[in-house]
Structure 1
């Protein structure tokens, strides 16, 4: 691990603000009058369910034009948690209105995807069709079928993920829009009941294996923990601990410890450890063991020469940023000042790596030598008045026509190497879930409790 501290200075408020420009650039459907990304316009207006249920809206998951509710739910929960914990920093930076707008946009689609009491949309668009197309989302003409989960194809993981996102969002909106907050909470509860009544993994039924799920008990535990926080109902806490025990047996000894769309158990541990619940000490031990692996570089976590805590060859920055968010959240609830400072310093060192301490910025449009050829169809395409957009655009050596401001790309390999090419989706593709933890830690860095250097 590189323990040296860089003297570089970063404008965390600007980075936080830019991260929400990325979310706006990923929007699908009819864009609002407040749209700030002038190279985007309305797209996929005819997205619909099998019986014509309206499914326009939401956001494209990554560099393609698919809408995927499993990682979208996880993304929304992570983003909402950061807003809940560091709302003052969001407000002081002038970013809170954009954060609320993003959460409302996401939650509105996640609720619309519940097209019938026992039907939920897992995906809009077919990967085979979508990935054969390189062009503007506004110009799509391919079929975009909706994939539905129901009792014959249960989706406890998917429904748990979305329930968690909606429950967390309901808490964010409680002080500012009680009607929308109540709607989010009601949907979160309905989806949780759906997911616990019909148990199964959503990715077991032939849906494109883009975000395959390893398990569902972690997602149900995470949802139950958020529902307990939102309602105070004891039954949700009982479920959260029960599903957590099941997930611990299945997951914790088998996986590299990462907190992401496929492993929500660490979110449950952190959430319950920061609340006054029975067995709080147990969850504190779990999450502190998780942090120890990341800070010490053990249990599948390694360190690059330049100091990044590294967990995966595919999109490592998202996992590190998510861990950073849990670290700063947990630090705010600790009586142990020494551990709190260690967690905050570690999280800041990782964010600084991403912002430029490694010699380049991994944030599009910000810092020194940021990526200019990110794997994102919309950003790569020129204005329609300038020319068309197809696979020749993809293979071109020219930079993207538009700057996908605020997008955190996947990240380097273990040797700190990185290739800025559109074809390098493994390292150079941003995604919704890749930005959520990043946004939250940036807000934390603006908080008075954070150390500075």
Structure 2
């Protein structure tokens, strides 16, 4: 809808035209707000992508004044400039971040599509759209960044990179032995590639296609270049991940955990011009770390690995789901994926424990400390794939061991300490079970959500996710867990909390910043992300989810971090948390591949939900006309 599909602008219906007009109005409002920034005391933060007609609709009035001047807010029709809805501000949630007072402005009961803005006294919001088409195309849009992150052949650059990867270390063969592991996705701005994030990303992409097949279109070929190939683009992207994972698990007793290391962090450069030398000669491939289950690190720093299960479980779930999806599309490929799923699961059983990523020059690595969630999801998917009850029994055992993902309800955690950030395993057990087993999984999800809610309910943004590194990734995952809980249980208790997380990502946060590059196309989205593609060549990073705000204490303690431009969000920084739209801030403004893959699932769920609302309305109209 708000994406740069220019050819689709020619033929649009009335509701869509309203959405497009809102883009121009948003620019005008944003310009006026920017020019009047000095001296302002109050702001109204909105979901810049807009609100569904029949869903939760809440904005936040955030003020540096102790109390709002007006007791009411109004919803104004942007076409007529006349108020169409009026309600009390309600509860003052008080101090949050840089603000002295904050109010939730709920207009959920208003259901008429159109272009609107909110007003409290002299404070106005940007124009936004109420429509059931706001999320249409959003999931496909975020796939652009996934294609852009491809290693091997990169369709965005129309060139190849890292084709000589890699050289085995820590393996059962002599160090330096070459093995073909080219392909996959770069993890973030750097060109490292991790099995743990890639397998999780692959599962999310495949799950998005499995759960919401009608959302995705076919505009790109399997190699990522433009052109239809008869396969939805999300499945093409999922297969790109599967192909690389198979290279990283080339035989039953071999599995690799990581490609390259932090020697990669040597400045901005395009992947096709990567000249980092890992000891094999510039451009001659990178080290690929064999998954041993023991601590690794070639330099000063080492990880604290204790086993193989956390990585192997992720491989298992991706392979198993892929096998099911390709059962009727490619029997031979499906059977190969089944074999890989079974052997990956055994690889995890052999060494229970966590397989962390390996540092080298710096102390930063993915400090994953849980593994039963990965084996739970792997076992649940094997049960769905094979029908063998032994896997369901194992999945339940793992699920009962870790009922709640540990970061939920906590104030902090180490980097990627509890990963993935929500446990898909509970949902997949619930999907495959009935009665007590399903209810048990529902209760585990609810327990985690409730822990976050106990923190979120005290501030107007309903923010209960800690501001640790990659806080946006946690926000996406938590919103998905809320959605999955609602879908499994039919309980809408936490729907407003779920929507608050989606709204936060799209601009309803202290900074008024959508955290997704280019979404909406003319909204306030990242302009200077920590990326070689954008910084060196001004290439757009369409669909990329940036890391998001971090605790100010974390920001101040990071090494090698420097801001290069004036902070346009200085008014909204606080002792609580910071966000900088600056290419020098790798802690808040760097896009991540796995976070974006999770976002694909979330946005697909939102579009599917909106589409069903439209279909329900059509059915009601048909029934009424028949009755009449």
TM-score range, shorter chain: 0.7 to 0.9
**Structure 1 residues 451 and 430: CA distance shift in structure 2, 3 A:** farther
- State how far apart, in whole Å, the 2-side matches of 1:204 and 1:100 are: 27
Deviations 1:378-421 (A, max 9, x none): 33222xxxxxxxxxxxxxxxxxx111110011123476742111
8 Å CA contact 2:323–2:334 kept in 1: the answer is yes
Partner of 1:385: none
Offset of residue 370 of structure 1: 1.0
Offset of residue 130 of structure 1: 0.3
Partner of 1:148: 290
Gaps of 5+ in 1: 383-400
Partner of 2:333: 180
The alignment status of 1:134 with 2:268, answered yes or no, reads: yes
Partner of 1:351: 502
Partner of 1:422: 583
**Structure 1 residues 347 and 59: CA distance shift in structure 2, 3 A:** same
| Structure 1, 197-206 or 223-232: larger mean CA deviation | 197-206
- State how far apart, in whole Å, the 1-side matches of 2:497 and 2:409 are: 25
**Structure 1 residues 223 and 132: CA distance shift in structure 2, 3 A:** same
Structural mapping, 1:183-202, within 5 Å: 183-202=336-355
- State how far apart, in whole Å, the 1-side matches of 2:398 and 2:539 are: 45
Deviations 1:338-374 (A, max 9, x none): x24x444443332233223343221112331211111
Q: 1:236 aligns with which of 385, 391, 410?
A: 391
Partner of 2:186: 60
**Structure 1 residues 308 and 15: CA distance shift in structure 2, 3 A:** farther
Q: 1:310 aligns with which of 449, 465, 471?
A: 465
Deviations 1:262-304 (A, max 9, x none): 256732222223332552222111111222233x243xx6776
| Structure 1, 160-169 or 348-357: larger mean CA deviation | 348-357
Q: 1:440 aligns with which of 568, 590, 601?
A: 601
Offset of residue 88 of structure 1: 2.0
Q: 2:513 aligns with which of 346, 360, 363?
A: 360
Partner of 1:106: 241
Q: How many residues align?
A: 421
Offset of residue 237 of structure 1: 0.7
If you compute each CA radius of gyration, which structure gives the higher value, 1 or 2?
A: 2
The alignment status of 1:402 with 2:402, answered yes or no, reads: no
| Structure 1, 227-236 or 10-19: larger mean CA deviation | 10-19
Partner of 1:280: 438
- State how far apart, in whole Å, the 2-side matches of 1:254 and 1:404 are: 32
- State how far apart, in whole Å, the 1-side matches of 2:334 and 2:418 are: 23
Q: Secondary structure at the match of 1:147?
A: strand
8 Å CA contact 2:404–2:445 kept in 1: the answer is no
| Structure 1, 234-243 or 245-254: larger mean CA deviation | 245-254
- State how far apart, in whole Å, the 2-side matches of 1:254 and 1:304 are: 15
Structural mapping, 1:332-351, within 5 Å: 332-334=487-489, 336=490, 339-340=491-492, 342-351=493-502
Deviations 1:179-214 (A, max 9, x none): 333322221111001110233322287778521220
Structure showing the higher helix proportion among its residues: 1
Structure showing the higher strand proportion among its residues: 2
Deviations 1:35-54 (A, max 9, x none): 3x2x4521101012422210
| Structure 1, 197-206 or 347-356: larger mean CA deviation | 197-206
- State how far apart, in whole Å, the 2-side matches of 1:44 and 1:412 are: 32
Partner of 1:390: none
**Structure 1 residues 84 and 3: CA distance shift in structure 2, 3 A:** farther
- State how far apart, in whole Å, the 2-side matches of 1:148 and 1:251 are: 28
**Structure 1 residues 227 and 266: CA distance shift in structure 2, 3 A:** same
**Structure 1 residues 346 and 87: CA distance shift in structure 2, 3 A:** farther
Offset of residue 256 of structure 1: 6.6
Q: Secondary structure at the match of 1:350?
A: helix
Offset of residue 434 of structure 1: 0.9
- State how far apart, in whole Å, the 1-side matches of 2:596 and 2:385 are: 24
- State how far apart, in whole Å, the 2-side matches of 1:202 and 1:165 are: 17
| TM-score, normalised relative to structure 2 | 0.61
8 Å CA contact 1:257–1:290 kept in 2: the answer is no
Q: Secondary structure at the match of 1:122?
A: strand
Partner of 1:170: 323
8 Å CA contact 1:348–1:445 kept in 2: the answer is no
Deviations 1:120-176 (A, max 9, x none): 11111121x101232111111222211101477741111111211222233333343
8 Å CA contact 1:158–1:202 kept in 2: the answer is yes
Gaps of 5+ in 2: 1-92, 94-102, 108-115, 117-127, 169-176, 221-227, 279-285, 296-306, 552-575, 615-628
8 Å CA contact 1:121–1:146 kept in 2: the answer is yes
